């Protein structure tokens, strides 16, 4: 059975990328603990609107943990703390206690400028993807899908890498603002599949070059990214990316 909790909510307000920004604070009373975190923010916004104020802006869409749109830094952790990987939208108020202070901030990274409040610009990820995150195949009549056998282990591993939702929590958590977990997941998915091997060298160089150009930092193996990844991507992908990258560079 649900019980109600009350707490202090501190949430980040920032009017555009150049604004300094500040926290607003509100006492949230009697919130049922079976409410999701984003539904709690819906309640906040209903209250603000009732008072004739501007609502608090944050990204969200599917609310079932798969679109990668939601992106809140909650009490110092991207997506908040859960035992298993979960996105902000899958976080429920039963994870919080009566009387605590909950702090909500945007992803903070030079490559993700704030648009408004906690809404940030992650279009850099699309640019990295466009640089080489694909297999160059035309729409048309490729050979039968079963013509190339793929060992189950390889398919499963590729699937684990492909599970990345592109939310950017890895970048937000990294002290260097590195996008290596995101990039390596995509590189790994294709490197593990026979269809992706042909372009592997070109792909890894193009994606890494674009990542560097867009101002993401380097990886220093702090593993902060994998600790917060809602889809449990691991730094084994980063190791694979490094191998792929060295292989590609050596064959130049």
Which residues between 112 and 131 bind other proteins (CB under 8 A)?
Answer: 115-116, 119, 121-123, 125-126, 129-131
Give the range of 133-141, 169-177, 216-224, 238-246 binding other proteins by CB under 8 A: 133-141
Scanning residues 211 to 230, which ones bind other proteins (CB under 8 A)? Answer: none
CB of residue 70 to other proteins, shortest distance in Å: 10
CB of residue 34 to other proteins, shortest distance in Å: 5
Of 163, 176, 222, 242, the one binding other proteins by CB under 8 A: 163
Nearest by Cα to 102 from 114, 113, 112, 88 = 88
Q: How far apart are CA 242 and CA 178, in angstroms?
A: 14
For residues 70 and 38, is the Cβ–Cβ distance under 8 A? yes
Q: Does 68 bind other proteins (CB under 8 A)?
A: yes
Q: Does 136 bind other proteins (CB under 8 A)?
A: yes
For residues 40 and 91, is the Cβ–Cβ distance under 8 A? no
**Closer to other proteins at the Cβ: 70 or 173?**
70
**Closer to other proteins at the Cβ: 53 or 249?**
53
CB of residue 211 to other proteins, shortest distance in Å: 15
Of 8, 19, 23, 46, the one binding other proteins by CB under 8 A: 46
Q: How far apart are CA 95 and CA 111, in angstroms?
A: 30
Q: Does 198 bind other proteins (CB under 8 A)?
A: no
**Closer to other proteins at the Cβ: 62 or 246?**
62
CB of residue 71 to other proteins, shortest distance in Å: 9
**Closer to other proteins at the Cβ: 146 or 251?**
146
Give the range of 21-29, 89-97, 99-107, 174-182 binding other proteins by CB under 8 A: 89-97
Q: Does 53 bind other proteins (CB under 8 A)?
A: yes
The 3-class secondary structure across the chain, one letter per residue, is CCCEEEEEEEEEECCCCCCCCEEEEEEEEEEECCCEHHHHHHHHHHHHHHCCCCCCCCCCCCCCCCCCCCCEEECCEECCCCCCCCCHHHCEHHHCCCCCEEEEEECCCCCCCEEECCEECCHHHHHHHHHHCCCCCCCCCCCCCCCCCCCHHHHHHHHHHHCCCCCCHHHHHCCCCECHHHHHHHHHHHHCCHHHHCCHHHHHHHHHHHHHHCCCECCCCCCHHHHHCCCCCCCHHHHHHHHHHHHHHHCC
Of 149, 250, 251, 252, the one binding other proteins by CB under 8 A: 149
Per DSSP bridges, beta strands 4-13 and 101-106 are: parallel
Q: Does 182 bind other proteins (CB under 8 A)?
A: no
Site string for other proteins, 6-45 (x = CB under 8 A): ---------xx---------------x-xxx-xxx-xx-x
Q: Does 158 bind other proteins (CB under 8 A)?
A: yes
């Amino acid at each position: 059975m649900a019980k109600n909790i009350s707490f202090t909510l501190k949430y980040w307000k920032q009017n555009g990328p150049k604004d300094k920004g500040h926290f607003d604070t509100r006492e949230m009373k009697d919130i049922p603990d079976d409410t999701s975190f984003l539904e709690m923010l819906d309640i906040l916004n209903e209250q603000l609107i009732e008072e004739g104020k501007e609502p608090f802006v944050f990204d969200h869409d599917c609310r079932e943990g798969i679109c990668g749109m939601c992106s809140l830094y909650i009490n110092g952790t991207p997506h908040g703390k859960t035992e298993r990987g979960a996105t902000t939208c899958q976080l429920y108020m039963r994870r919080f206690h009566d009387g605590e202070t909950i702090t909500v901030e945007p992803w903070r990274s030079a490559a993700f400028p704030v648009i408004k409040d906690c809404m940030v610009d992650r279009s850099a990820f699309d640019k990295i993807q466009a640089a080489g995150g694909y297999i160059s195949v035309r729409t048309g009549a490729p050979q039968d899908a079963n013509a190339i056998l793929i060992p189950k282990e390889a398919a499963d591993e590729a699937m684990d890498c492909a599970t990345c939702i592109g939310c950017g929590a890895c970048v937000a958590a990294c002290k260097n603002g590195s996008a290596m977990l995101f990039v390596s997941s995509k590189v790994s998915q294709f490197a593990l599949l026979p269809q992706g091997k042909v372009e592997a060298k070109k792909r890894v160089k193009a994606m890494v070059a674009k990542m560097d150009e867009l101002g993401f930092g380097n990886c220093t193996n702090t593993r902060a990214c994998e600790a917060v990844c809602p889809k449990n991507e691991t730094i084994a992908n980063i190791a694979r990316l490094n191998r792929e990258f060295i292989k590609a560079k050596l064959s130049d």
